[in-house]
């Protein structure tokens, strides 16, 4: 089967864990909550993917994944002020990590001969499933389900671009394609403030992640 070298795989997951821990620390998570968030965001998607393919999760089978992600999460927790203060480098680095994770997910689907749509879904899940779990634990609407620029769009298009490239040009050109497409869409959508796709008549405020209540409920709500 075609696969990224393990050090690239681990590095992509560690970068995801680094940013997840930085965000968790910025949200006020305590020590264990921060480290757990880093682990889930980094490894959760790959575990979900492998379970769907009826495989032993790589993060459980190989000892190096969990220690690497924990170290990265600790670094993210201690440097979260700098991460928050440097949005552009953080966007680029996270976009590269997303492109690598998309590549891992889609390629596994291709190797196991799943349908095209399923392979693309595996690419998206590999990148997002862990974050969805953490957002659920924090009682926050998942990033892919709220107004977050072109997060979901970048992952879907990046996954589709990888599938097209890996089935026509080969694995490594596909990895480069996925990284470029995912990173560009991620960075440009944030810099140009492109909103997530909306339904006709829908506003950005409705998809911000903040719950909206009927006017009657608002009137009855206690003031603070």
39 in a domain, yes or no? yes
Q: What percent of the chain has a predicted confidence (pLDDT) above 70?
A: 87
Return the number of other C-beta atoms located less than 10 Å from residue 175's C-beta: 22
Residue 53 is predicted with a pLDDT of 93
The gap between the terminal CA atoms of the chain, to the nearest Å, is 59
What's the domain count of the chain? 1
Report if residue 223 sits inside a domain.
Answer: no
Instruction: Establish if 47 belongs to a structural domain.
Output: yes
Domain contains 205: no
Distance CA 62, CA 207 (A): 39
* pLDDT score of 211 more than 60: no
Give 36-77 pLDDT, tens digit per residue: 999 999 999 999 999 999 998 888 888 999 999 999 999 999
What does the pLDDT look like over 121-150, one tens digit per residue? 999 999 988 888 787 777 777 777 666 678
Residue 107 lies in a domain: yes
Is 55 a domain residue?
Answer: yes
Decide if 217 is inside a domain: no
Residues 6+ apart with CB under 8 A from 200: none
**Following CA atoms 147, 148, 151, 157 in sequence, which dihedral angle do they give, to the nearest 10 degrees?**
40
Asked if 181 and 189 touch (Cβ cutoff 8 Å), the reply is no
Domain containing residue 160: 6-196
């Amino acid at each position: 089967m075609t696969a990224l070298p393990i050090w690239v795989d681990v590095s992509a997951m560690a970068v995801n864990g680094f940013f997840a821990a930085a965000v968790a620390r910025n949200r006020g998570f305590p020590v264990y909550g921060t480290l757990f968030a880093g682990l889930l965001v980094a490894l959760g998607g790959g575990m979900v993917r492998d379970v769907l393919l009826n495989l032993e999760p790589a993060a459980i089978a190989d000892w190096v994944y969990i220690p690497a992600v924990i170290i990265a999460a600790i670094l993210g927790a201690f440097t979260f002020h700098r991460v928050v203060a440097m949005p552009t480098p953080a966007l680029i680095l996270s976009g590269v990590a997303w492109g690598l994770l998309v590549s891992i997910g889609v390629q596994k689907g291709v190797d196991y001969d799943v349908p095209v749509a399923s392979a693309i879904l595996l690419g998206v899940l590999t990148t997002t499933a862990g974050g969805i779990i953490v957002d659920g634990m924090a009682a926050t609407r998942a990033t892919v389900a709220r107004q977050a620029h072109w997060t979901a769009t970048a992952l879907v298009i990046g996954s589709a671009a990888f599938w097209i490239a890996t089935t026509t040009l080969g694995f490594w050109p596909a990895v480069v394609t996925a990284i470029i497409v995912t990173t560009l869409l991620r960075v440009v959508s944030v810099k140009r403030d492109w909103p997530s796709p909306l339904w006709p008549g829908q506003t950005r405020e409705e998809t911000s992640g903040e719950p909206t209540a009927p006017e009657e409920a608002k009137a009855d709500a206690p003031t603070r």
